[in-house]
Amino acid sequence: MKIPLSQKNNCTALAKTSDNAINNSINEIKEKLSATFLEHEIDSAIPFIEEIHELKKQKNALILSHNYMTPDIYHGVSDFVGDSLYLAKKSSQIKADIILFNGVHFMAETAAILNPERKVLIADLSAGCSLSESINANDVRQLKKKYPNTPVVTYVNCSAEVKAETDITCTSANALAVIESLPDKRVIFLPDEFLAQNVRNQSTKEIISWEKGKCMVHEQYQADDVIAQRAQFSDITVIAHPECTPEVIQEADFSGSTSQVSHFIKKGDNKNVLLLTECGMADNLKTEFPEHNFISSCHTCPHMKRITLKGVRDALVHERYQVSVPSHIAIPAKKALDKMLNLSL
Ligand code: SF4
């Protein structure tokens, strides 16, 4: 898990610091950005970064950013960065008047469900997710009718209304552990078909999955491409996100959530890494592991990339776009989220 710019729960990275400390922080940010940004790109980003830090201080706002954010957002303005599980846990603990969530809509919804008393913002309401859009609450109700007395586990990549129909949520970091924690022999697991297949390969349970659910980024990776890369670069460690197909996972040396990938790289001694996940993750890992050689033909998530540094600034200036979930959906959805968070997996 990436160390946040600020360890303090209720202050921004640059708040309550001297001018000298502010300059040092900006210099550190510039240094980090230099791993992936050109000089003129850094020069364009810095005024926005300074303004965003000032706005966070004025408005008592905290910024949570997913690992797929671009480096200017990830390293420049975030108080906490990580995968869905870490950010869900963090959003249930922090104290701020405003939470600005840099990720996609279902993630901001999760923060809103866990923080009904706070203002939760997202810089672009159209930042969706192909997995989340593949299923609605009625689809889940139909499945429950078809498979009565079968618990429903949903990957957090789904809407609040789908979470409200769920017994317990999970993330890619804990999907197997959550499913194995249930006493039932049969489980409905939604909406990611490939994650379900990958969990099925390791689980003793019968898993009913949702064929329509695919991540538009990770479904693009092919096992043949991995084999070709291994032929070209003999000494590589292949890391694939569990939203990839089972054939790709079989060719990989490691599969895990975005935060688990970071831990795995830290522990390993091979400096040549083929990373099969979203481009923002690859860029941020390049900064975290400057000694490593990332062989990456990454694919970009168009939804994640709707969140820009300028959009983040505008979201704080205008306190937009607020994400809220009506209580008849938020209450059952929170129960499903709390069950996962209380498992401490
Ligand atoms: S990378 Fe895939 S799972 Fe993540 S937000 Fe984009 S479409 Fe959804």
Q: What is the pLDDT of residue 50?
A: 96
Per-residue model confidence as pLDDT tens digits over 137-171: 999 999 999 999 999 999 999 999 999 999 999 99
Tokens of 144: 């429950």
Question: Which of 5-9, 111-115, 221-225 shows the lowest per-residue confidence on average (mean pLDDT)?
Answer: 5-9
Give the model's pLDDT for residue 95: 87
pLDDT of residue 11: 30
pTM (2 decimals)? 0.89
CA distance 100 to 321: 9
pLDDT category at 339 given cuts 50, 70, 90 is: very high
Which numbered atom of ligand 1 lies nearest the CA of 131? Answer: 8
- Token pair 């607020």 in the structure block, residue: 322
216 CA closest ligand 1 atom index: 7
Q: Which atom of ligand 1 is nearest to the CA of 130?
A: 7
Residue nearest to atom 3 of ligand 1 (CA): 215
Answer whether 64's CB lies under 8 Å from 80's CB: yes
Ligand 1 contact via 298 beta carbon (within 6 Å): no
CA of 129 to the centre of ligand 1 (A): 5
Class of domain 132-215 as given by CATH: alpha beta
Q: Where are the domains of the chain?
A: 19-129+304-318, 132-215, 218-295
**CATH superfamily of this structure's domain 218-295:** NadA-like (3.40.50.10800)
Q: Does domain 19-129+304-318 have CATH number 3.30.70.100?
A: no
The reply to whether ligand 1 has any atom less than 6 angstroms from the CB of 215 is: yes
> Does residue 120 surpass a pLDDT of 70?
yes
User: Is 301 a pocket residue for ligand 1 (Cβ < 6 Å)?
Assistant: yes
Lookup: tokens for 56: 């966070």
Q: Is the pLDDT of residue 124 over 70?
A: yes
Specify the amino acid at residue 125. Answer: L
Q: What are phi and psi of 231, to 5 degrees?
A: -70, -35
Average pLDDT rounded to a whole number, residues 307-321: 98
